[in-house]
Amino acid sequence: MLQVNLWLIAVILSGIGIPLSQNYSFAKLADFKILITQKTPSENANSQLPWEDLYNRVPPPRDDIPAGSRGDICVITPAKPGKIAVVWSDRPLFLWRGSIRKMEVRPRSNKQVLWSQTVSENQSSIIYNGAVLEPGQSYDLVLFNQRSVPIFRVTFQIMEKEKRERITSDLTNLEAQLKQEGATAEKIAYAKANYFASRGMWGDVLLEAYKVEKPSDPLSKFKNSALERFCPRN
């Protein structure tokens, strides 16, 4: 089996223009195989990011009832026990546990639908991609069951303009510094998540985690554990 794999490597190398002499040993090809299967420095760096430690910064809000729940539906973000959740991003993450068919975003002051999205039965997250939500304004997230009947509503607010701009400036400077250092996209996301976690802004912490396109194993574990930390099954 080893010789077959090494023969394939030899064929590939020849195909891309790397000449192989008849005396090229299987041992050298084995060394090459090890080289190409090793993780890149970026992958190694991402695998060492302590995502789970973020839960220890300012612990996620917990209550006798999960952040937002009704029956089999539990909304993780945007939701906060007994309060209106305030988020920095005007493109917030919606994260939930349970089966729904559709969701809508409406201004809290009226029933106008700003955004509507059908979701698959097993889907549990989506990043809002409608019209920009306004700083200081409150909105309702309305969830519908499989019969398209509204069954759940949670209110959230986009952070007021002045405070939001300060945070935006902090994050812009943080990202610029990390890019100058050659940081990976996931490391930048972690740094932003850490910034939000230290302020107890869990909706934005989770948004940064879910924006990463190719998450490392620690990040995937962090995302999966959020469901149990915010919406434990009884």
CB 94 within 8 A of CB 74: no
One-letter identity of residue 61? P
pLDDT at 1 over 50: no
What is the mean pLDDT of the segment spanning 56-69?
A: 59
Q: Of 13 and 132, which is predicted with more confidence?
A: 132
What is the mean pLDDT of the segment spanning 24-44?
A: 49
pLDDT at site 128: 97
Q: Helices 202-211 and 185-197 sit at what angle, rounded to 10 degrees?
A: 170
pTM: 0.77
3-state secondary structure (DSSP) of residue 187: helix
How deeply is 99 buried, as exposed, middle or buried, from its count of CB atoms within 10 A (0-12, 13-18, 19+)? middle
CATH T-level fold of 68-158: Immunoglobulin-like (2.60.40)
Closest listed residue to residue 203, CA positions, set 128, 123, 111 = 128
Among 34-48, 143-157, 172-186, which range has the highest average pLDDT?
172-186
pLDDT at 207 over 50: yes
Q: How far is CA 147 from CA 119, 150, 152, 166, in A?
A: 13, 9, 13, 43
Residue 121 CA to its chain's centroid (Å): 19
- For the chain, give every domain's residue range: 1-14+24-39, 50-59+161-230, 68-158
**What confidence category does residue 5 fall into, taking pLDDT thresholds of 50, 70 and 90?**
very low
Q: How far is CA 183 from CA 21, 28, 44, 162, 191, in A?
A: 40, 33, 12, 29, 10
pLDDT at 35 over 90: no
In this structure, of 52-61, 144-153, 174-183, 223-232, the range with the lowest mean pLDDT score is: 52-61
pLDDT at site 31: 47
Q: Of 37 and 192, which is predicted with more confidence?
A: 192
Please provide the DSSP assignment of 111-122 as one string.
---SEEEE--TT
One-letter identity of residue 164? R
pLDDT at site 191: 97
